[in-house]
Chains A and B, each alone.
Chain A
Amino acid sequence: MTRNPQLGDKGELRHLLTTEGLPREILLRILDTARSFLSVTEREIKKVPLLRGKAVFNLFFEPSTRTRTTFEIAAKRLSADVINLSIGTSSQSKGETLLDTVANLSAMHADMFVVRHAQSGAAHLIAQHAAPHIHVINAGDGRHAHPTQALLDMFTIRHYKQEFQGLRVAIVGDVLHSRVARSQIHALTTLGVAEVRVVAPRTLLPNHVSELGVQVFHDMREALADVDVVMMLRLQNERMGGALLPSAHEYFKTYGLTPEKLAVASPDAIVMHPGPMNRGVEIDSMVADGRQSVILPQVTFGIAVRMAVMSILAGSAP
Chain B
Amino acid sequence: MTTPTPDAEKLLLVLTEQLRPALKPDTALVGIHTGGVWVAQRLHSLLDLQVPLGTIDVAFYRDDYAHRGLNANVRPSDISFDVAGRDIVLVDDVLYTGRTIRAAMNEIFDYGRPGKVMLAALVDRGGRQLPISPQFLGATLPVADDERIVLSRAGDGRLHLAIESRSQEGDGR
Contacts and interface: CB of A to CB of B under 8 A. Distances in A.
Nearest to B103: A49
Interface stretch (B38-46, B74-82, B135-143, B158-166): B74-82
Contact of A44 (B70, B74, B78, B112): B112
A50 B62 CA distance: 8
A38 B76 contact: yes
A307 B77 CA distance: 16
B116 interface: no
Interface in A6-44: 12, 29, 32-33, 35-40, 43-44
Interface stretch (A67-75, A190-198, A310-318): A310-318
Interface string A42-61: 01110111100000000000
22 contacts: A32-B73, A35-B76, A36-B59, A36-B75, A39-B76, A39-B78, A44-B110, A44-B111, A45-B110, A45-B111, A47-B110, A48-B61, A48-B110, A49-B60, A49-B61, A311-B60, A312-B69, A312-B70, A315-B68, A315-B70, A316-B69, A317-B67
Interface residues of A, number: 22
Contacts of A47: 110
Given A36-B75, A39-B76, A315 B110 contact: no
Given A44-B112, A311-B70, A50 B60 contact: yes
A317 B61 contact: no
Shortest 7 CB-CB distances between A and B: which pairs? A315-B69, A48-B60, A45-B110, A315-B70, A39-B76, A36-B76, A36-B74
A48 B110 CA distance: 8
A50 B65 contact: yes
Contacts of A48: 60-61, 107, 110
Contacts of A43: 110-111
Contacts of A312: 69-70
A36 B106 contact: no
A36 B72 contact: no
A50 B64 CA distance: 10
B95 to A, nearest CB: 22
B66 to A, nearest CB: 8
Interface in A102-127: none
A50 B65 CA distance: 7
Given A36-B77, A49-B60, A50-B70, 7 more contacts: A33-B74, A36-B60, A36-B76, A37-B60, A43-B111, A44-B110, A315-B66
A317 B74 contact: no
B83 to A, nearest CB: 8
A22 to B, nearest CB: 15
A46 B66 CA distance: 21
B54 to A, nearest CB: 12
Contacts of A33: 70, 74
B124 interface: no
Interface in B78-120: 78, 106-107, 109-112
Most interface-central of B60, B106, B112 (chain A CB within 10 A): B60
B158 to A, nearest CB: 28
Contact of A315 (B57, B65, B76, B112): B65
A32 B74 contact: yes
Contacts of B112: 44
Contact of A317 (B60, B69, B107, B109): B69
Contacts of A35: 76
Contacts of B59: 36
